Amino acid sequence: MPEYRTNALILALRDYGEADRIVTFFSQDLGKMKGIAKGAKKSRKRFGAAMDLFSHVSLSFFSKEAHGLVRLNHCQLQEAFSSLHKDIIPMGYGSYLAELTEEMSAEGVTHREIFDLLWRFFFILNTLPPREEYLRIFEIRLLVALGYQPHLSHCTVCRKTVEKEDTIKFSISRGGLVCSLCAAGEKDAYPISIGTVRLLQQAYALSLDKVQRLFFSAQALTESREIMPRFIQYQVGKELKAAQFLKQIQVSSF
């Protein structure tokens, strides 16, 4: 059974049996994976404090072909992102990014861009005060990276390019804009201004090291809050637990 070594970000941990843990991680080289860490709750020597949510770790594991669960062998901490748990909001935001990545990405598909995206946003949440924009920017960049890019340049019904003065909406089921003429029969369409459209376009066009410089207006925050979580829920097929959590603690993100 070959041994693999990779860098990874821990997305989820679940207790299994008396001392084992099922670990979901997003690796730099092999994408999302699930593994079993035997004796993780007891063995501080092999896994230590490194095996924790959101941690950036170096992992080694054994994998049989055609077997879903890899066997984790060793885990060394690279970056703990320890400010994420210093407050309930960054913890909620970090959890939302991790859960979204876990739900939307396919297992075993290499996707370096997503690893870099998640790492960057954990880094931002660890170093800067939490802002709602970060969730929206992450959402749209993840959607684009996975091929679910919303159509933000033209009406998804009549294909007309949207202009500055147009009254437009965003249709959740069509995955993009609908002009005022075509929006009449759309049940799941929400108003969106051209300003918000431009900000969302910028959110995925900006280079990753500059995303923290993007600020949304109050109107853009309200409109994107109405649209993006609904679009995500439509794609995933359920409401994420972390989104429910953020709603319940009454953080204006959802």
Partner 1 sequence: MLSQTISNLIRELSKLPSIGEKTAMRMAYHLIALPRSEVQALAQSIIDARQKVALCSICFNITDEDPCAICQGDRGKADTICVVETPAHLAALERTGTFNGMYHVLHGTISPLRNVTPANLKIKELMQRLHSNSIREVILATNPTREGETTAIYLAKLLQPLGITVTRLAQGIPRGGEIEYLDESTLKSSLEGRHVIRLD
Please, what is the minimum distance in Å from the beta carbon of residue 113 to partner 1? 23
Q: How far is the CB of 158 from partner 1 (least distance, A)?
A: 41
C-alpha distances (whole Å) from 94 to each of 26, 43, 84 are 14, 26, 7
Helix (H, G, I), strand (E, B) or coil at 66: coil
* Closer Cβ to partner 1, 17 or 68, answer by number: 17
Tokens describing residue 79: 């970056």
Q: How far is the CB of 224 from partner 1 (least distance, A)?
A: 20
Query: Which is closer to partner 1, CB of 94 or CB of 150?
Result: 94
Between 20 and 166, name the residue whose CB sits nearer to partner 1. 20
Tokens of 153: 């340049």
Question: What residues does 23 pair with on adjacent strands?
Answer: 13, 35
Q: How far is the CB of 240 from partner 1 (least distance, A)?
A: 9
Measured between alpha carbons, how far is 26 from 146 in angstroms, rounded to an integer?
Answer: 14
Closest separation in Å from C-beta 54 to partner 1: 7
Burial of 191 (0-12, 13-18, 19+ CB in 10 A): middle
**Identity of the residue, 123 or 190, whose beta carbon is nearer to partner 1 in the bound complex:** 123
Closer by beta carbon to partner 1, 95 or else 196: 95
Residue closer to partner 1 by CB (options 16, 190) is: 16
DSSP 213: G
| Chain positions contacting partner 1, by CB under 8 A | 12, 17-18, 44-45, 48-50, 52-54, 76-77, 80, 84-88, 91-92, 95-96, 98-99, 241-242, 244-246, 248-249
Contacts of residue 1, Cβ cutoff 8 Å, sequence gap at least 6: 62, 63, 64, 71
CB of 89 vs partner 1, minimal distance in Å: 10
**Residue whose CB is less far from partner 1, 98 or 137:** 98
Smallest distance, partner 1 to C-beta of residue 34, A: 15
144 CB burial (10 A radius; 0-12, 13-18, 19+): middle
d(CA 215, CA 175): 24
3-class SS of residue 187: coil
